[in-house]
Chains A and B, each alone.
Chain A
Amino acid sequence: MQLFADNPILNTVTKLVAVVVIMFSFVFVVMVPLYNVLCDALGINGKTSGERYEAVQIQVDESREITVQFIAMNNEGMPWEFAPSRTMMRVHPGAVNDTVFMARNPLSRDMVAQAIPSVSPARAAEYFHKTECFCFNQQPLGGEQSTEMPLQFIVDQGLPRDIKTITLSYTMFDITEMAEETAATAVASR
């Protein structure tokens, strides 16, 4: 490709500048989304899909029993009391299970939180389906209020045979400021 037939140097430079621009955009338009796709597919960091799972025709596999452990944690600066109602459940693959997590905002001001799920072992992540989860949405909670947050999940029958225990952890982040900023921008842009 000859863009500047009379000036080969300019020609080279133009192509190289294009490479620079492409590589810079590559970070944002390829690496970031690709990483998220790979995380979902391979369960990197035990990330689970942030989307609601639509249960398809499923059969309960009574022959296997999987232990599911629940862990609730706070990230730095998060004062909420946050805990699972049950720390452990034994479930059959394919069955629909329900549990709740408890949260209490001990401060006098309103807060917004976001729970981030992580599954261990990571390769179990793609077989752990959430049909209902508080982590799909932000959790606003008034000052000194408590709430019960529902979780409904199905362990896929395809779960590799050697996995007998799945740990699901939620880390609660304080996103009050972030949520306020978003709300402010939404109002401003209206």
Chain B
Amino acid sequence: MLLKARKLFWLALGPVMLLLSGLGSPAWAEGDKVNRLYQVNMEPGVTEVGAEIYDLHMLIFWVCVVIGIAVFGVMFYSIYAHRKSRGVTPATFHESTKVEVLWTVVPFLILLVMAVPATSTLIDVYDTEDAELDILVTGYQWKWKYEYLDENGENVVFFSNLRTPQEEIYNTDKKNEFYLLEVDEPMVIPVDTKVRFLITAYDVIHSWWVPELAVKKDAIPGFINETWTQVTKTGVYRGQCAELCGKDHGFMPVVVNVVSKEEYVSWLAGKQAQAAEIAALMEQNFTMDELVARGKAVYDRSCLACHGANGEGGVGNAIAGSAIATGATNGHLDSVVNGVAGSAMQAFGGQLNDVDMAAVLTYQRNAFGNNMGDLIQPIDVYNFKQGQ
């Protein structure tokens, strides 16, 4: 009840009250920014550069407020005092070189003062040298790929997809607090470490943005951009793609999990072990149930957006009853591994490991009423890729 009253109050008076109460962010709960309703200002964030940018932003904001009060003050006084209904006779002056020069020169000087901190902050933003960790960020329609560059070539690579279920987006399920700002696998970086991001794109232009890290850089296909961060506080930081990149531009969030250096080392070791595990799984044969269970998870994350929760199709063709998913395994493998030229169907060969590929194909062949009853094992995928 109280909450509802409060909500109504904000709806009615929000903009006015927020201005009067100053531009602090009324943090309702510590930690994840999702809890901060009615945030009206930029975050100082968790990096030194972010704090610098925030200070610069506030400086310019207050300069504008002061000028605004002065200018509008004069105008509203004039509107009050110099109205015909008060019986005034209009003055006849219409120029004054002195005044006009003055209000050309003074703003110019104010701008000069602003340019100094702006320049020094920009130089800091551009200083990418001496990073301890390099991460290659690649924008895809509509997900991010993170590749941790390793000196010995043992790069850790994974995709980061939106985790919010379609049911929440299409309002059949209650939205969770991290709605649209949650991914299946966040980027993990260590705290107090200079991390350099090399940013590029696979298809169209994207833009990688995490407000609390004060990082936004365009991802351009064919070219590489770089930027950096050094986070001073552990936590989960959330952002989104900032450059229109097609249909699901609004559905490719960025989540960065900043952990202690020790945790990072063990996480990295875990990822490397996982890669080794995938390699081992390659040797294994799976049962139908295992493949279907794994395949459903892969499907929901990689296929559902275009092919629908029940394989009914959408942007992509229907999978239920499709000639490809109920046809020869090689044709099915070819479509998914290499994509379909001239259509929105991407080549997933480089995006899914062979185990996941085998699982999702098996799932597609045995779900949505496609009762093929056949299995595709990881080794089949491997052989297909080698033998193409």
**Residue ranges of A at the interface with B (Cβ–Cβ < 8 Å):** 45-47, 69, 71, 73-79, 86-88, 106-108, 116, 118-121, 144, 162-165, 167, 169, 171, 173
24 pairs, A vs B, C-beta closer than 8 Å: A71-B136, A71-B149, A71-B198, A74-B202, A75-B203, A75-B222, A76-B203, A76-B221, A77-B339, A77-B341, A79-B338, A79-B339, A79-B347, A87-B149, A87-B151, A106-B386, A118-B223, A120-B198, A121-B128, A165-B129, A165-B134, A167-B224, A169-B198, A169-B224
- The answer to the question of B321 belonging to the interface, with a C-beta cut-off of 8 Å to chain A, is no
Pairwise interchain contact A171-B153, C-beta atoms closer than 8 A:
no
Q: Which residues of B contact A106 (CB under 8 A)?
A: 349, 385-386, 388
CB-CB nearest in chain B for A45: B223
Pairwise interchain contact A47-B134, C-beta atoms closer than 8 A:
no
For the complex with contacts A106-B388, A171-B222, 20 further pairs of A-B residues with Cβ separation under 8 Å are A45-B223, A45-B224, A46-B225, A71-B136, A76-B221, A76-B347, A79-B338, A87-B149, A87-B150, A87-B153, A87-B155, A88-B151, A88-B153, A116-B222, A116-B223, A118-B222, A120-B198, A165-B129, A171-B221, A171-B223
Q: Which residues of B contact A169 (CB under 8 A)?
A: 198, 200, 224
Q: Which residues of A contact B222 (CB under 8 A)?
A: 75, 116, 118, 171, 173
**Residue ranges of B at the interface with A (Cβ–Cβ < 8 Å):** 128-131, 134, 136, 138, 149-153, 155, 198, 200, 202-203, 220-226, 337-339, 341, 346-347, 349-350, 385-386, 388
Pairwise interchain contact A167-B221, C-beta atoms closer than 8 A:
no
Pairwise interchain contact B388-A167, C-beta atoms closer than 8 A:
no
User: Contacts A106-B388, A108-B388, A169-B200; is A164 near B225 (CB within 8 Å)?
Assistant: no
Could you say which of B134, B153, B224 contacts A118, with CB atoms under 8 Å apart? B224
Q: Which residues of A contact B347 (CB under 8 A)?
A: 76-79
Q: Which residues of A contact B149 (CB under 8 A)?
A: 69, 71, 87
Pairwise interchain contact A120-B388, C-beta atoms closer than 8 A:
no
Tell me how far the C-beta of A93 lies from the nearest C-beta in chain B, rounded to whole angstroms.
Answer: 16
CB-CB nearest in chain A for B387: A144
User: Contacts A45-B220, A77-B339; is A121 near B202 (CB within 8 Å)?
Assistant: no
Could you say which of B150, B152, B202, B226 contacts A120, with CB atoms under 8 Å apart? B226
Q: Which residues of B contact A162 (CB under 8 A)?
A: 129
Complex: how many Å from CA A119 to CA B224? Answer: 7
Pairwise interchain contact A164-B129, C-beta atoms closer than 8 A:
yes
User: Contacts A87-B149, A107-B338, A144-B388; is A79 near B349 (CB within 8 Å)?
Assistant: yes
Pairwise interchain contact B151-A71, C-beta atoms closer than 8 A:
no
Complex: how many Å from CA A107 to CA B203? Answer: 21
Closest 6 CB pairs of A and B: A45-B223, A106-B388, A76-B203, A87-B153, A118-B224, A118-B223
Pairwise interchain contact A163-B129, C-beta atoms closer than 8 A:
yes
Pairwise interchain contact B388-A71, C-beta atoms closer than 8 A:
no
User: Contacts A107-B388, A121-B128, A165-B131; is A46 near B153 (CB within 8 Å)?
Assistant: no
CB-CB nearest in chain B for A123: B126
Complex: how many Å from CA A121 to CA B129? Answer: 9
Q: Which residues of B contact A165 (CB under 8 A)?
A: 129, 131, 134
Pairwise interchain contact B226-A167, C-beta atoms closer than 8 A:
yes
Q: Which residues of B contact A173 (CB under 8 A)?
A: 222
Q: Which residues of B contact A79 (CB under 8 A)?
A: 337-339, 347, 349
Pairwise interchain contact B385-A75, C-beta atoms closer than 8 A:
no
Tell me how far the C-beta of A85 lies from the nearest C-beta in chain B, rounded to whole angstroms.
Answer: 9
Complex: how many Å from CA A75 to CA B222? Answer: 7
Q: Which residues of A contact B338 (CB under 8 A)?
A: 79, 107
Complex: how many Å from CA A169 to CA B199? Answer: 11
Tell me how far the C-beta of A172 lies from the nearest C-beta in chain B, rounded to whole angstroms.
Answer: 10
Q: Which residues of A contact B152 (CB under 8 A)?
A: 87
